[in-house]
Chains A and B, each alone.
Chain A
Amino acid sequence: MQPMALWKRVLVLLICAWGIVGAAPNLFYGQVERHNDAAAAIELAGGTATPDQTTALAEWPDFLPSALVNLGLDLRGGAHLLAEVRVEDVYKTRIDAMWPEVRDAMRDLRDEVGAVRRAPSPDGVLRVTISNPAGMAAALEAVRALGSSVVTLTGAGQSTIDVTAEGSDIVVQLSEAEKAATDSRTLQQSLEIIRRRVDEVGTREPTIQRQGEDRVLIQVPGIGSAAELKALIGTTAQLTFNAVVSRTTDAGADAGPRNLLLPSVDENGVYYIVEETPVVSGEELVDAQPSFDQNGQPAVSFRFDTTGARKFGDYTAANIGAPFAIILDDEVISAPVIQSHIPGGSGIITGSFSVEDSTQLAVLLRAGALPAEMTFLEERTIGPELGADSIEAGKLAAMVAGVAVAIYMVASYGLFGVFANVALAINIALMFAALSAVGGTLTLPGIAGIVLTIGMAVDANVLVFERIREELRLNKNPARAIELGYERALSAIIDANITTFITATVLFTVGAGPVRGFAITLGIGIITSVFTALFVTRLIVETWYRVRKPATVTV
């Protein structure tokens, strides 16, 4: 028997050692998790630790690895949301913002195009009527000049806007390339803002992922319910300060062009007509904190950035005595009368808030507004007790499976069965080490994947052992039989496992959540079981053979 090269032996042993050391923290999940949490909290606090944190930190020594397998939502409990971002919302904002520019451009061409008027149009389309259709060509040219080139790889060279003429109307909308670019930006922004909001409430390891063209997957372990999560991320939190035109109790009142009729939050049946174009918006906020007003009522204090502060200052100086509306997501929170010029750029929003409301509003304002609304397509809440039950059941099943398979292997292959069991134990350690290292998530089907791997992992060994038996029956000498066993079983092992790996890959690509967790454990299990059968068991068998030099071998 050709012994394994020294470097190979060393490498195999190193990998096994890595597996055992890397998997070890998972045996002490609670301690290590508290240690990691404390370490993260201390780092965040700039190196100062509370006594609690120090105790938690001491639960697991620093020099040992501390990477853990993440537990999926179905095991830890938490909330899962799949949201669709209404990317079209942004088209409207973008196109509406173009109207003043178009008007100005037309003003320069007044001699040719005559009077200009905005005509009613669906959302995301700007329709402008000119009184002198003869000047259409010049008008189109001028409007087109307002567009710029799209800055994406695929859309390069195209204009951001499509401008066409329909009779005496100029129709402006975003070009397809720009829509695609806008969608992608909208989604990026949404992800970023959702992340900031979830981080503000500080739960552990939230998953916030883009899925497909316009979807966002949000998984937050440890949160009470999907409803709670939705309240946090479902509100757009679009804050604006608008000039008030009038106040009415008529829900059907005609707001007039470029004005909005918005309900009041606090006063039932009261509506405000406000100008559509805000004076200042929430984007110009730099800070928002929960606080109390002079009457001791919960409120939110805020501060504008320099441009926001200047606009706000100018507006208040010019409109003393007039009311202005503070609007959050199309509802008027309050409409105070401007008492004096407010120069510093900071202010306070009052309303009938509870302390929770004001805290939440401050969080939302700090994190920023979502660029578009979201529709929730999927919501799941899993209670922590159910997850804990599942872990217990999974552990028990895995242990029973492991012991039963081990006994069965020894009964079938004697000493070689023991070798295979050692390899099986290393295999499981390697799986956990690999899962911890890649930050894989263990889900309930994932546990089933591990149990399945326990059953299937011995397959490669079985193939080899059966082959060795056959070679022994052909009266080959033991060393030769072992060598041939490994050699001849190889093609079956490789082919069989590659085909299984194909299905694991498909599962990973197609599946989401728990199914993907299963695919990861299955895939890792295939790799580790082939490794342990081909290298670990072989190393053990070879070493045993060299030390014992048996005259006959019985498999």
Chain B
Amino acid sequence: MALRFRLAPEKTNIDFFKFQWVTFGGSMILSVLAIVAWIVMGLNFGIDFRGGTTIRTEASQPVNVAAYREALTGLDLGDVSITEVFDPSFAEDQFVAQVRISPQDGQEAVTPETIQVVEEQLRTVDASITFPSVESVGPKVSGELIWKAIAAMVAASLGIAVYIWLRFEWQFALGSLVALIHDIFITIGVFAIFQIKFDLTIIAALLTILGYSINDTVVVFDRLRENLLKYKTMPLRDVMNLSVNETLSRTLMTSVTTLVALGAMLIFGGDVIRGFAFAIFFGVVLGTYSSVFVAKNLVLFIGLDRGDKPKKPSANEFADVEA
């Protein structure tokens, strides 16, 4: 046997249900806590969902938040927040801040005149300041975007559940749905706790997590489906353990390659995309965990009617695409 780097031993025999009150129960408690955090602390919505204007400023001198704020008071802009942005990829003399202005009463988008006044005021603080990006979203659009985002999440989850139901059994669909909700809610909870900016790209990240997590879950389910046919009399719990053990090395392998790639994105991708990269990174870790410890537990609780012939493994269904 040639030398190989391995994450899991060749053959594992771990009982993944042994501590299921800790693993599955813990997951459920965490999900609930995440929802509580979400409700209590609220999400730090970006302008996509809240409306308003963000102006990114860049200067060659350190950002003086107080001076910036001073310059903007008296403009009667309502709620203004100024945050400095740090990133290892910035140059020595590159100082970036984000100015956020709440939506103006009775206006869809902030007028160019207002933005011009803001820019002029900031220039009096620091003449070297530039404005690499100015974004403004009206309250009408932001309201719609929230609903669109929710609709997207629901549509994707249901689409996936229906597909799983068609290809496997309804218990599997339910199990994967619970795993998906677990991944999404905990990720949202983390965004609430750390008050990371939550905008449209984060929704894209959540949908990607959905896709990744289900990908992982399906691989386990596929093996389960195969083993259920193979070992007709083995108790369901044992078949499940066997299936997870058999696919464990693949599960870890894929997670690690994906995390390696995402880690590169997280570190080198720049600050504009960091929230997005973080959400996916975190979600992949959760997704891997949930496909091993969450998805099939529910199937075990509900139980499978094994007298009923499990749906056909697909090799012959996809005969035409086979190489």
Q: Which A positions have Cβ atoms within 8 angstroms of B?
A: 4, 8, 74, 82, 84, 225-227, 230, 375-383, 385-386, 389-390, 393-394, 396-398, 400-402, 404-405, 408-409, 411-414, 444-445, 447-448, 451-452, 454-456, 458-459, 462-463, 466, 469-470, 473, 486-488, 490-492, 494-500, 502-507, 509-511, 514-515, 518-519, 522, 534-535, 538, 554
Q: Report B1-40 residues with CB < 8 Å from chain A CB.
A: 1-2, 4-6, 10-11
Q: Which residue of A lies closest to B159 (CB)?
A: A502
Question: How close is B260's CB to chain A, nearest CB, in angstroms?
Answer: 5
Instruction: Kindly list chain B residues whose C-beta atoms are within 8 Å of the C-beta of A411.
Output: 4-5
B272 at the interface (CB under 8 A from A): yes
Contact B152–A456 (Cβ < 8 Å): no
Contact B262–A463 (Cβ < 8 Å): no
Question: How close is B97's CB to chain A, nearest CB, in angstroms?
Answer: 14
Select A412's contact among B159, B247, B253, beta carbons within 8 Å.
B253
Chain A binding surface, main DSSP class? helix
Q: Considering residues B219, B226, B261, which has the most beta carbons from chain A within 10 angstroms of its beta carbon? A: B261
Asked whether A390 and B108 contact (CB < 8 A) given A487-B315, A488-B315, A503-B156, the answer is no
Contact B112–A494 (Cβ < 8 Å): no
B77 at the interface (CB under 8 A from A): no
Instruction: Kindly list chain B residues whose C-beta atoms are within 8 Å of the C-beta of A4.
Output: 323
Q: Which residue of A lies closest to B269 (CB)?
A: A397
Q: Which residue of B lies closest to A407 (CB)?
A: B260
B268 at the interface (CB under 8 A from A): yes
Instruction: Kindly list chain B residues whose C-beta atoms are within 8 Å of the C-beta of A84.
Output: 108, 140
CA distance A448 to B272 in the complex (A): 11
B196 at the interface (CB under 8 A from A): no
B264 at the interface (CB under 8 A from A): yes
Closest 9 CB pairs of A and B: A455-B261, A393-B270, A227-B112, A455-B258, A491-B314, A503-B211, A401-B261, A383-B132, A386-B132
Contact A396–B268 (Cβ < 8 Å): yes
Listed by A's residue number, 19 A-B pairs whose Cβ atoms lie within 8 Å are A4-B323, A377-B140, A380-B136, A383-B132, A390-B273, A393-B273, A394-B270, A400-B268, A401-B260, A408-B5, A445-B201, A452-B261, A488-B226, A491-B222, A502-B160, A506-B159, A507-B208, A510-B148, A511-B152
Chain B binding surface, main DSSP class? helix
Q: Report B266-312 residues with CB < 8 Å from chain A CB.
A: 267-270, 272-273, 276-277, 280
Other than the known A400-B264, A459-B215, A500-B211, what 13 A-B pairs have Cβ atoms closer than 8 Å?
A: A376-B109, A377-B138, A393-B270, A404-B261, A452-B208, A462-B253, A463-B250, A491-B317, A496-B222, A499-B211, A500-B214, A503-B214, A510-B149
Asked whether A377 and B250 contact (CB < 8 A) given A411-B4, A500-B211, the answer is no
Asked whether A380 and B133 contact (CB < 8 A) given A401-B260, A404-B260, A514-B201, the answer is yes
Q: Which residue of B lies closest to A2 (CB)?
A: B323
Instruction: Kindly list chain A residues whose C-beta atoms are within 8 Å of the C-beta of B256.
Output: 408
Question: How close is A382's CB to chain B, nearest CB, in angstroms?
Answer: 5
Contact A491–B318 (Cβ < 8 Å): yes
CA distance A400 to B130 in the complex (A): 31
Contact A377–B218 (Cβ < 8 Å): no
B186 at the interface (CB under 8 A from A): no
B66 at the interface (CB under 8 A from A): no
B75 at the interface (CB under 8 A from A): no
Question: How close is A132's CB to chain B, nearest CB, in angstroms?
Answer: 46
Contact B109–A378 (Cβ < 8 Å): yes
Instruction: Kindly list chain A residues whose C-beta atoms are within 8 Å of the C-beta of B109.
Output: 376-379
CA distance A538 to B136 in the complex (A): 50
Indicate the size class of the contact surface on chain B.
35 or more
B127 at the interface (CB under 8 A from A): no
CA distance A494 to B155 in the complex (A): 21
Select B315's contact among A375, A390, A455, A491, beta carbons within 8 Å.
A491
Contact B207–A506 (Cβ < 8 Å): yes
Contact B246–A470 (Cβ < 8 Å): yes
Contact A502–B262 (Cβ < 8 Å): no
Select B4's contact among A396, A412, A488, A506, beta carbons within 8 Å.
A412
Asked whether A390 and B270 contact (CB < 8 A) given A454-B261, A511-B152, A538-B323, the answer is yes
Instruction: Kindly list chain B residues whose C-beta atoms are within 8 Å of the C-beta of A455.
Output: 257-262
Asked whether A499 and B208 contact (CB < 8 A) given A227-B112, A452-B258, A455-B257, the answer is no
Select B314's contact among A451, A490, A507, beta carbons within 8 Å.
A490
CA distance A487 to B316 in the complex (A): 10
B115 at the interface (CB under 8 A from A): yes
Contact B4–A451 (Cβ < 8 Å): no
B204 at the interface (CB under 8 A from A): yes
Asked whether A227 and B258 contact (CB < 8 A) given A389-B270, A448-B277, the answer is no
B240 at the interface (CB under 8 A from A): no
Contact A507–B134 (Cβ < 8 Å): no
Q: Which residue of B lies closest to A457 (CB)?
A: B257
Instruction: Kindly list chain B residues whose C-beta atoms are within 8 Å of the C-beta of A469.
Output: 10
CA distance A283 to B46 in the complex (A): 43
Select B137's contact among A377, A448, A452, beta carbons within 8 Å.
A377
Instruction: Kindly list chain A residues whose C-beta atoms are within 8 Å of the C-beta of B216.
Output: 496
CA distance A509 to B155 in the complex (A): 11
Instruction: Kindly list chain A residues whose C-beta atoms are within 8 Å of the C-beta of B128.
Output: none
Question: How close is B280's CB to chain A, nearest CB, in angstroms?
Answer: 7
Q: Which residue of A lies closest to B280 (CB)?
A: A452
Q: Which residue of A lies closest to B3 (CB)?
A: A414
Question: How close is A473's CB to chain B, nearest CB, in angstroms?
Answer: 7
Contact B273–A506 (Cβ < 8 Å): no
Q: Report B105-145 residues with CB < 8 Å from chain A CB.
A: 108-110, 112, 115-116, 130-138, 140-141
CA distance A452 to B321 in the complex (A): 25
Instruction: Kindly list chain A residues whose C-beta atoms are within 8 Å of the C-beta of B151.
Output: 510
Q: Report B152-192 residues with CB < 8 Å from chain A CB.
A: 152, 155-156, 159-160, 163-164, 167
Instruction: Kindly list chain A residues whose C-beta atoms are within 8 Å of the C-beta of B272.
Output: 74, 386, 390, 393, 444
B265 at the interface (CB under 8 A from A): yes
Instruction: Kindly list chain B residues whose C-beta atoms are within 8 Å of the C-beta of A511.
Output: 152, 200, 203-204
Q: Which residue of B lies closest to A516 (CB)?
A: B204
Q: Report B67-103 residues with CB < 8 Å from chain A CB.
A: 89
B254 at the interface (CB under 8 A from A): yes
Q: Which residue of A lies closest to B138 (CB)?
A: A377
CA distance A486 to B201 in the complex (A): 36
B56 at the interface (CB under 8 A from A): yes
Select A490's contact among B2, B204, B219, B315, beta carbons within 8 Å.
B315
Instruction: Kindly list chain B residues whose C-beta atoms are within 8 Å of the C-beta of A534.
Output: 321, 323
